[in-house]
Amino acid sequence: MTGLVLHNYWRSSTSYRVRIALAMKGLDYEYVPHHLRYGEHLEPAYKAVNPQGLVPALVLEDGRLLSQSLAIIEYLDETVPEPPLLPDTAIGRARVRMLAQIIACDIHPVNNLRVLTSLRTVFRAGDQDVVNWFRHWVNESFQPLETMLSSSSETGTFCHGDTPGLADICLAAQVLNNTRFGVDMSPYPVISRIHEACMALPVFQRAAPKNQIDAES
């Protein structure tokens, strides 16, 4: 084994999170695409690598598998300290993890492709039902997230101070995902401002879905 291998999919927002972290840490990796809509992640060859059959998954130099985007990012942050993706105080880390998990636990899991597909197959949801569902769960969590960000003196150019970190990674990936479902961002000026600050950075651009080898128009 030589080097890191990232199993991922250009449009998966959790894949995007890990790509941003890898780019911020300056790490090179082999990019292995799995086309989710064609079910490539469910093939036996990939399930032998990652029993969950989900992306992203990072295979380390020694062949070990890491899955779950937040666990991968914390591992990268612990093993490649610069630039740090978490603050240097326990309470700061708690705040950033809280902001990240509002997106990673309360929004994304309910809105990811396999859940939306289940709504269609199990409950015969139509296109507009799926769009409404997606928007509903974004708004349920973006409203309090906006309140928390706008009311805290710890919010800076980014979610926590003036350097980007774990919460910004989740925020940027979610806001980009929102555009596919036409989420009205006008109630969220602070989230929007932070997203723009993220997308002004070359690492967020380089990792962006449209700039991946498997990107489709």
Nearer CB in complex with a copy of itself: 24/54: 54
Tell me which residue of 148, 158, 152, 154 sits closest to 195, measured CA to CA. 158
Residue 5 forms beta bridges with which residues?
A: 30, 59
x/- track of binding to a copy of itself for residues 68-97 (CB under 8 A): x-xxx-xx--xx----------xx-xxx-x
**Cβ atoms of 204 and 51 closer than 8 Å:** no
Distance CA 105, CA 205 (A): 24
Return the sign of the alpha-carbon dihedral for residues 167, 169, 172, 175.
negative
Least distance to a copy of itself, CB of residue 177, Å: 15
x/- track of binding to a copy of itself for residues 96-135 (CB under 8 A): -xx-xxx-xxx-xxx---xx--xx--xx-x---x--xx--
* 3 state SS for 32-67: EECCHHHCHHHCHHHHHHCCCCCCCEEECCCCCEEE
Nearer CB in complex with a copy of itself: 69/212: 69
Chain residues binding a copy of itself by CB under 8 A are 50-54, 60, 64, 66-68, 70-72, 74-75, 78-79, 90-91, 93-95, 97-98, 100-102, 104-106, 108-110, 114-115, 118-119, 122-123, 125, 129, 132-133, 136, 140-141, 143-144, 147-148
